[in-house]
Structures are given as structure tokens and as C-alpha cells.
Structure 1
Amino acid sequence: MTVPEPYALFVTLPGWEGLYFQGVGANMVEGFPHEAKKYNDKMIILSPQLNDWGETSANMAIELTEYFIAHYNIDTSRVYLHGMSGGGETGSIIMGKRPELYTAYLETSSRWDGDLEVLAKARTPVYLAIAENDTYYGSGYLKNTYQQLYDLYREQGLTESEIREILVLDVRPDSYFTQQGYRDQHSGGNAFSADKEVMGWLFGKVKQQTK
């Protein structure tokens, strides 16, 4: 009997426009769930419409992830999380609660609200991408988050190369967005969805399974 090939799982949390009260399917305007299909045709993609940007939606996203892992043939070494804008805030809370559930986390055009101590213990890889002059958040929040997490890893004794494997800060200049037709650098964060360097980093991560 042939054993079915397991599927990777990608959970992408949308920003303001994707909240439930914006209407059914409003979350699908972002490019992340669509572009993700190009990286793995054996992947289940979930783009839930959130209730808020806080604990409620964070807990719901965790439960959704656990449900799919429990009820579908999921490759637990390839479970990915992404959050855009407010969805990134939600994603960061998830990383402060259950980072071990995910292989890697991509946060775009957002700020960090989660517990960095919990994340640092799990060492789940994180990629932080934002515009230098993000019109909603600025880039200072994520720069500060990067430094705090970097310092926690140094305290653990990790080397520079080891930290680079699990922590990336990617701050893009104005020109990156204007060249792609975005006048607003916050909504321009959607450009990261078509960036092979960014998305390739996320889906290139594979969790080492412990026996």
C-alpha cells in the first residue's frame, strides 16, 4: 500500500482589509496566499479572516493550525506562518505562545507584540520585512525587536552565523516600492509576496524532527 505524501501547511494572516467584518473573501486581496502556490504544489494554504489583532485571533489561529495537523496528512517539518500588518501583530503573539508549532515565521509591514523570551527558547526562524519609512508603523519597532532577539540569542551563546540562520531583518528603501507601483510604503508591503528572496527564505526552511 502506498503511503500518501504529506502536505506542507501555510497559514497567512491578513491585515486590516482582511478582517471578518470587511466581507467574505476580503482577505484574498493580498498576494501571499496566491504566490505561495508557486513554491510547493503539495501545500495546504489557509488565509483566515481574523476577529482582531490580539489574543483572540492568535488563539484561533493556533487552534486552526492544530486542527489541520491533527486531521490532515501534514508534514510537521513544513508548517509556515505569515502575518501582514495587523496580521503580523497577531502572528507575533502566536510566536510568543506556540513558536514550536511552526517551522518559520515571516512578518511583513508590522510590529512585534509577542513574548520574545518564549520565541528565543524555541529558536523558531523569523524573517522581519518592512519599509524604511512604513507609513503606518515606521521601521523602528521591528529594528528594536530584531536587536532584542539578537541579544537574547547572543546570551544563549549562539554565534553570528547561527543567528543569521534563524533571524533576518530586511528593511527596504522607498525605491523598492515605487519601482513596483506602490505610492504608500505600508500597503506596499504586499510587494514582499512576490519577492523570491523573502518567500524563498520562508519555504526553504525545514524543521529538524526530534526522535
Structure 2
Amino acid sequence: MTMRNLRRWGALALAMTMIWGAGACGSPDGQASQTPSRSPSARESTSTDASVTPGTEQYRGFTLDNVLHSPTEGDIHFNMKLPGNADGGAPMALFLTLPGYQGLYRFGVGENLRTEDFAFTAPDYADNMMVVAPQLEDWQDTSARKTIALAEYLLAHYNIDRSRVYAEGYSGGGETMSRALGMRPDLFTAYLQCASQFDRDLESVAKSRTPVRLVIGAHDEYYGADPSRQAYERLRDIYRGQGMSDAEIDGVLVLDVRPDSYFEQRGASNQHGEGARLFARDPQIMG
């Protein structure tokens, strides 16, 4: 299931991934600049339910540490990059990327962007894309609810094409995003989970038929491939119970287990720690 495949459905399916400990990416000097940024939202002052404190630091085109003050979920920290023509009137695609453990907020502002590539490679596969990289506290329901609150705010305050809202999570971020997807599958056009496990009941996902791609190494050192295989088989069973044919199921569900040779041939010393570096730059996954 690639973006080209999902264009046939009238949407762009996005393959995404992330991890830490695997080739961090950075600016030429490895430092964030202090260049003032523009406000995350020209319409934020119209909201009576939530407000945003814009970040002031820039890193590789991202405005760092914007803070959504949610009346129900508290402060939500996120990094954001708007496309160059964001003010041109055309609806934008939205890419939400959740990092693993090393990218959580406690480890420093922008650490998710410094240690993972997906926020930077995703726009290569969709025109006019807004990229948002939250930095949350954990990978449980609290962070899942914050992800949902942030997505709802963005959809309400930006000109976003609701048919092009893509979610990605790697490792712990995949656990969080799977919970968010299970709670609100209607928010997302497609979801890519890498090197992780599905931490939510699959019934609501199957009911919405949100396209899901599960990518993992055959011998992922942290999770192993079995949780992804089990989620895949469970979803297939539910879809068969809905009367879907195998061909129809293949159109919304993909299990992509990468063999040991995939990592060995690319000089990867481990599968979990280097998956983000490889997956984010793999056109078969991303394209």
C-alpha cells in the first residue's frame, strides 16, 4: 500500500516511520537557529476553547515548541512546518508524526526532529503538505488524547484537505498513534506503523476501514514481528467477517515484514534502532 496505490482511492497513502539511535539528522551546524518564526495560526485568536503560544525557534524549516493550550488535555507541545504556499488558498495535506522514546518532550525541544527523518522526507510524496511533529509525555492514552486534540485543532484552524490526513508512529510513537487511531479513526486518511505494536482494540479501525500499513523487521530487537503479525491477522479476520474479499482487504491492510537481509545489505547493526533511518529513505515504503 503506497501513496500511488491510495491515489486510486482518491487519497494519498503515506508510509512513515521513525526511531532514535539511528543516524540523527540535523542542520549543517547541528544547532537550531533563533530566527523568529511566523505564528502557527493566523486564526488562533478566534478559538474560544483553545489557544496556541507560537514557538520562536527554527530548525530546518520547522517552528519548534508551539504549545496548544487545550482546556481538556492541558498543554500540547508540537513542532510544525507549513508548505511554502500555505497562504495560497489550496487545501493542504497534513502529516502527523509521533516519535519513539528518545523524541519525547522530556529529552529536549526538537529532539524528535534531530533523531528521525520522516518529518523531512514525507513532503516528497505529497504536494502542499503541512508537517506536525508533536512531542508528548508517554505512549499511553493521555498522549493519544493529546494527539487527537491537536489534530482536531489543526483541522479547525487550517485549510486542510480532510481526505489527506496521514498519521505515522514509530516504536513508542506507534503505540500512541494506534491508540489515537482506535479512539478516532475518522480523523485519519491512512496510518503507517513501524517497529511497534498495536495498542488499541481493532474493531473501530476495521469499522472505519482506515488504511493501515504495518512495517517491522523480522527480528526487531524490541517488539519482534509477532505483535504486528497478530494485529494483521486480527484485522483480516474482522474484515472477512464484514464480507470483504481478500483483494478488498489487501487494499486497506498491508503487513510489511522486512527480512534480516534488508538490514544487513544496508549496513544496519540492528533492526529496531536503525529502522527509521532506513524506512524513511526507502521509496518502496515512502513512495
Under a length normalisation based on structure 1, what TM-score does the superposition of the two structures give? 0.91
Q: Give the structure 1 partner of residue 196 of structure 2.
A: 110
Amino acid at match of 1:152: I
Q: Give the structure 1 partner of residue 90 of structure 2.
A: 5
For 1:43, which of 129, 135, 139 is the aligned residue? 129
* 3-state SS of paired residue (2:90): coil
Name structure 2 gaps, 5 residues minimum.
1-87
Q: Give the structure 2 partner of residue 14 of structure 1.
A: 99
Tell me the CA shift for residue 15 of structure 1.
0.4
The answer as to 2:244 corresponding to 1:137 is no
Deviations 1:141-175 (Å, cap 9, x if unpaired)? 11011000000000000001100010000000112
Question: Structure 2 CA distance, aligned partners of 1:108 and 1:50?
Answer: 18
Tell me the CA shift for residue 184 of structure 1.
1.2
Q: Give the structure 1 partner of residue 210 of structure 2.
A: 124
The answer as to 2:156 corresponding to 1:70 is yes
Worse-matched range after superposition: 180-189 or 53-62: 180-189
Tell me the CA shift for residue 188 of structure 1.
2.1
Tell me the CA shift for residue 179 of structure 1.
2.1
Question: Structure 1 CA distance, aligned partners of 2:134 and 2:263?
Answer: 26
Question: Structure 1 CA distance, aligned partners of 2:143 and 2:92?
Answer: 24
Question: Structure 1 CA distance, aligned partners of 2:222 and 2:141?
Answer: 21
Question: Structure 2 CA distance, aligned partners of 1:8 and 1:20?
Answer: 25
Question: Structure 2 CA distance, aligned partners of 1:178 and 1:41?
Answer: 33
Tell me the CA shift for residue 41 of structure 1.
4.0
Question: Structure 2 CA distance, aligned partners of 1:176 and 1:37?
Answer: 24
- Higher helix residue share: 1
Question: Structure 2 CA distance, aligned partners of 1:62 and 1:199?
Answer: 24
For 2:285, which of 198, 204, 207 is the aligned residue? 198
8 A Cα contact 1:95 1:115, kept in partner = no
The answer as to 2:179 corresponding to 1:81 is no
Question: Structure 1 CA distance, aligned partners of 2:265 and 2:98?
Answer: 26
8 A Cα contact 2:170 2:194, kept in partner = yes
Question: Structure 2 CA distance, aligned partners of 1:182 and 1:47?
Answer: 25
Question: Structure 2 CA distance, aligned partners of 1:142 and 1:53?
Answer: 17
Question: Structure 1 CA distance, aligned partners of 2:268 and 2:189?
Answer: 31
Worse-matched range after superposition: 60-69 or 187-196: 187-196
Identity %: 53
Question: Structure 2 CA distance, aligned partners of 1:155 and 1:195?
Answer: 34
8 A Cα contact 2:93 2:127, kept in partner = no
Higher-Rg member (1/2): 2
Amino acid at match of 1:154: R
Question: Structure 1 CA distance, aligned partners of 2:256 and 2:126?
Answer: 23
* 3-state SS of paired residue (2:134): coil
Tell me the CA shift for residue 198 of structure 1.
1.7
Worse-matched range after superposition: 31-40 or 167-176: 31-40
Name structure 1 gaps, 5 residues minimum.
201-211
Tell me the CA shift for residue 180 of structure 1.
2.1
Provide the alpha-carbon RMSD of the alignment: 1.0
* 3-state SS of paired residue (2:138): coil
Under a length normalisation based on structure 2, what TM-score does the superposition of the two structures give? 0.68
Q: Give the structure 1 partner of residue 248 of structure 2.
A: 162
Question: Structure 2 CA distance, aligned partners of 1:98 and 1:13?
Answer: 16
